[in-house]
Each structure stands twice: as structure tokens, then as C-alpha cells.
């Protein structure tokens, strides 16, 4: 039997709310088994960019990462956000180690080729260093990844945190019984987006198809779900979607995805 | 016989000069044996602070680290500078892993007590996690430290890079035959500060006393030398002071300190 590994991704909404982040980090620290955290950046990068006179360009909700934006992202994601999370986890007796994909060559990527849109220094993942991560976990360390990778030629790349989480989960599923958790502001995948109590508790391939047909899964949830099923189809045992309290061992509803 | 470990500290003058930094990182990558890099921050933190409207306070050449300054330092030292160095080392086939003292609880410190001056969030080092660092080195990793530590209670602390380098060297000298290198803008300790060719090639305890008496070692060099002899008196085999080219295996003069 493979050892259990939990990979948890938190987004901007958790990071930017200091008390919500503290609540999450306390829960995360108490999780049994091997674990790994991936965090996005969120609005703080945009705010700091503004202060520094750097314009944040977005197309269809995605950041266009020019040279100056990449500098700000490197400062905020890999510096400010990552190190404060690591220090707070240490205070919770969780031996965290902050990483970007460049550290230990943990996540190799290439600059996204220009098609219709030039995303600038955005990275698409080629592979992960599962051997190194397994070693770090064995040493009792908890890797904390920011949303950055590198191309192996000296270039840092801004990379979607959801994708980093799923690629890490896929890569590590040969060694671990891996569960992937996406923490966001909602209680889970909702039948009715206006009703937080309408959480769909379980989604498998069959119900997924049905939900797509009924257009219940649409808009922003669509790429998230595609990502989840991509993980499930490539070795990840289970994907959970919900808010921070899904890590509590109580009866709070959240969505579990399985094949 | 203990394995060889080289600990190299580079300061602001190397970091801020892109071609000098590249030259250094190429030389560093080619060093034989175990190695570890410590980098300071330098002027870029002050410049970015200015852009963000954060005032940099200095007393006697030392930074007063208030909350806003600590944020900037965390962004620049742990983010921008550290990750770009790591990415460039990776491009040089050196498997670097960027760290602050909080990562892996590598360097424990406490906030400097207020006496005459309140240095704010400045850290004085209590100990290092030599076991973890030895494990990382054994995995083929090269730790790259920025000038930050933590107090174990969630607080990051700005910490002098020279001191980090010497405390790491001292802590690791029980496991390794450790040499500490301080790379700076001068060729070494100079007999005449206006003459770069007047490098004192070797300083031992006896010549050190004589140089102090003759006031040849004074001003900024005094704390640097105190730091060096502190390391030598606590297990470090050798300390070298000079510019980047001291890592080249040629006949460039630099200063070697031994007991």
C-alpha cells in the first residue's frame, strides 16, 4: 500500500483574508500523513504592482506576464506570500519549506508559445521532480509551492496554481495514494450557484457528463473541473473541492470527485 | 576525514551588477565538493521601497526594519533576488534550492532586544538546523540563503548576511571541513585601502593582533574580521576574503585567514 499524500491548493481569497488564512494553516498543520501546499497569488500582486507603477494586463481573466509583472510576481508570490505562510506553518509545528518550481528543479516548464495571445512569461509544465519531492517528504518536510516554475535556462515563469497542484498530484501518484484538495470560497460544486447549501457531494464520470449536459457546470467551474478529471484520469485517487473547513473532520458538505 | 564544504557569501555589489553576478554564478557552479551560497540584498531593496513609498531608515549603516521595510525585504531578498539566483544556477546545472531561515526551520533567531537603538524586525541567530542542511547537501542540492531568519512564532526577521554565513559555517563545521568565503568588491584585506595591489595574503591570530595595533584593520573591516575570527575560533577551518575571481583557480591574490 502506498503512503497517503494530501496536496492542497489555496487561492487568493484564502490568502488575502488574514484570519481565514490562519484558520486554514492551523487545519493544514494538523493533517495526518504526507502533505504539500500550493498557493496562488491573488490581488496583492496587482496592488503592489500598482504601487510600483507597473500596469497589470489581463485578458479573459488571465494575467499577461511581461518582464515588469514577472518581477512583481516573483516578489509577491515567492517572497512575501510564500515566506509568511512558511513562517506561520513553522509556528504551527509544521516543518514547511517554501519552493518555486526552480528550487531543486522541482517543476520544469517552457514559456507558453504565442498563438492568438502572447501571455508573456507564462509557463506550461513539462514535468516534476518526483524523486526530490519524495526525499523532502521523507525528511519530514512539507513543501509549500508558489505559482512559479522555470525553463531550466534561467527564466522564471508565472504558472497557474491549479495546474501546478494537479501536475504535482499526478506526478506523485506513482509513489503515493494522492488526494488533491482545491480550497476556494464556495462550499463546493453547487447545483445552484446562488445557493451555498446546494453542494453536489459526489461527482463521478457519469454524473459529470450529466452535469455538463444540464449546463450546471459552466463558466469558471468548467476549466477547474477539466483540471480535476485530468488528474483523476492520470492516477490521482480523489479530488475534493470546497472551502477551508473541508479539512475539518466534521460533516461540512463539500464536493468529492472520483472516476 | 570530513567532506569538504564551501560556504560563500556575496554582497550587494556582486548582486547588483548583472554581468558580475553571472560571472560569479558560473564560477560557483563549477566549485567541487559540497557548497552553499548566502546572499545579501543591497540597494535594490532600498530602490523598490522608494518606488512603493516606504522610507528606508538607516542608523550607522544598519537598516532599521519596521513592518513595511520587512515586507519589502521579504519581497526582494526572498523573492526577486533569491529566485533569480536559483533559476540562473539551475541553468548552470547546479541544483540550487532557495531558502530563508524559516524554510525547514533552517536558522532559528530572536528579535534583537531594544537597547539604545530599536532595530525593529532584526534577527539575532540562536542556532541552525545542521541535520537538515546535511540531508539537503547529500541529496545533491545547493542551498541558497537570503538574509532572513524567523523566530519560530511566525515572525520573519531581517538578518545580517555575513552573520548568517559565519553561523552556518560554524554549525556545519562539526560535519564538514568548512571554508568560508566572503566575496566583496575589493581584492582582499588591503595594507593600504587606496591600493588594490596591497593585498595581505595571509592573516593568522598573530598578524591579526599586529594589524589591529597598526590600525590597518579599522572601520568597516573591523566587524568583518571579528566575524571571521569568531568563525575560525569555533571550528571553521579557513576564511577567504576577496573579489569574485578568488573562486578561479588562478593566482589572483586574496586574503586567507587561519588561526
SS3 category, B89: helix
Q: Which chain B residue shows the shortest CA-CA distance from A106?
A: B97
Q: Give the closest residue to A70 by CA, choosing from A124, A119, A103, A116.
A: A119
The model scores a pTM over 0.90? yes
Cα–Cα distance, B16 to A144 (Å, whole number): 28
Q: Give the closest residue to A173 by CA, choosing from A34, A80, A57, A21.
A: A34
pLDDT category at A147 given cuts 50, 70, 90 is very high
SS3 category, A13: helix
Cα–Cα distance, B216 to A93 (Å, whole number): 48
Distance, in angstroms, between A98 CA and closest chain B CA? 6
pLDDT category at A123 given cuts 50, 70, 90 is very high
What ipTM was reported for this prediction? 0.96
Q: What is the largest CA-CA distance in chain B?
A: 53
Q: Which chain B residue shows the shortest CA-CA distance from A78?
A: B79
Distance, in angstroms, between A120 CA and closest chain B CA? 17
Query: Percentage of chain B with pLDDT > 90?
Result: 79
Please report where in the chains the cell 560554524 appears, as a residue: B170
List of domains in chain B = 4-257 (3.40.1160.10)
Which residues of B fall within a CB distance of 8 Å from A159?
none
pLDDT category at A80 given cuts 50, 70, 90 is very high
Cα–Cα distance, B49 to B55 (Å, whole number): 7
Mutation pick from B77, B84, B103, B143 vs chain A, by most beta carbons of A within 10 Å, is B103
Q: pLDDT for B80-126, tens place per residue?
A: 999 999 999 999 999 999 999 999 999 999 999 999 999 999 999 99
Q: Which chain A residue shows the shortest CA-CA distance from B103?
A: A97
- Which residues of A make CB contacts under 8 Å with B? 48, 51-53, 71, 74-80, 82-84, 86-88, 90-91, 95-100, 102-105, 132, 135, 139, 141, 148, 150, 152-156
Cα–Cα distance, B145 to B164 (Å, whole number): 8
Please report where in the chains the cell 524559516 appears, as a residue: B102
Q: pLDDT for B131-178, tens place per residue?
A: 999 999 999 999 999 999 999 999 999 999 999 999 999 999 999 999
Please state the rounded mean pLDDT for residues A16-31.
94
> Running DSSP on this structure, what letter comes out for residue B110?
E
Which spans in B118-180 are helix H?
Answer: 130-138, 161-172
pLDDT category at B58 given cuts 50, 70, 90 is confident
Amino acid at each position: 500500500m502506498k503512503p497517503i499524500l494530501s496536496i492542497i491548493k489555496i487561492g487568493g481569497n484564502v490568502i488575502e483574508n488574514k484570519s481565514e488564512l490562519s484558520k486554514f494553516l492551523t487545519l493544514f498543520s494538523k493533517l495526518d500523513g504526507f502533505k504539500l501546499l500550493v498557493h496562488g497569488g491573488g490581488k496583492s500582486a496587482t496592488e503592489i504592482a500598482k504601487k510600483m507603477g507597473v500596469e497589470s494586463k489581463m485578458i479573459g481573466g488571465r494575467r499577461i506576464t511581461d518582464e515588469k509583472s514577472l518581477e512583481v510576481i516573483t516578489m509577491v508570490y515567492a517572497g512575501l506570500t510564500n515566506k509568511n505562510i512558511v513562517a506561520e506553518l513553522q509556528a504551527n509545528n509544521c516543518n514547511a519549506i517554501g519552493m518555486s518550481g526552480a528550487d531543486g528543479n522541482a517543476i520544469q516548464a517552457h514559456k507558453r508559445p504565442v498563438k492568438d495571445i502572447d501571455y508573456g512569461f507564462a509557463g506550461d509544465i513539462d514535468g516534476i521532480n518526483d524523486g526530490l519531492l519524495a526525499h523532502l517528504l521523507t525528511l519530514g518536510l512539507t513543501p509549500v509551492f508558489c505559482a512559479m516554475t522555470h525553463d531550466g535556462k534561467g527564466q522564471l515563469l508565472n504558472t497557474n496554481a491549479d495546474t501546478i497542484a494537479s501536475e504535482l498530484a499526478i506526478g506523485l501518484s506513482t509513489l503515493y495514494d494522492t488526494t488533491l484538495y482545491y480550497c476556494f470560497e464556495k462550499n463546493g460544486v453547487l447545483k445552484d450557484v446562488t445557493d451555498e447549501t446546494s453542494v453536489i457531494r459526489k461527482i463521478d464520470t457519469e454524473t459529470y457528463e450529466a452535469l455538463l449536459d444540464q449546463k450546471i457546470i459552466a463558466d469558471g467551474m468548467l476549466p477547474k473541473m477539466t483540471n480535476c478529471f485530468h488528474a483523476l484520469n492520470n492516477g490521482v485517487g480523489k479530488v475534493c473541492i470546497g472551502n477551508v473547513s473541508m479539512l475539518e473532520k466534521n460533516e461540512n458538505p463539500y464536493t468529492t470527485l472520483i472516476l
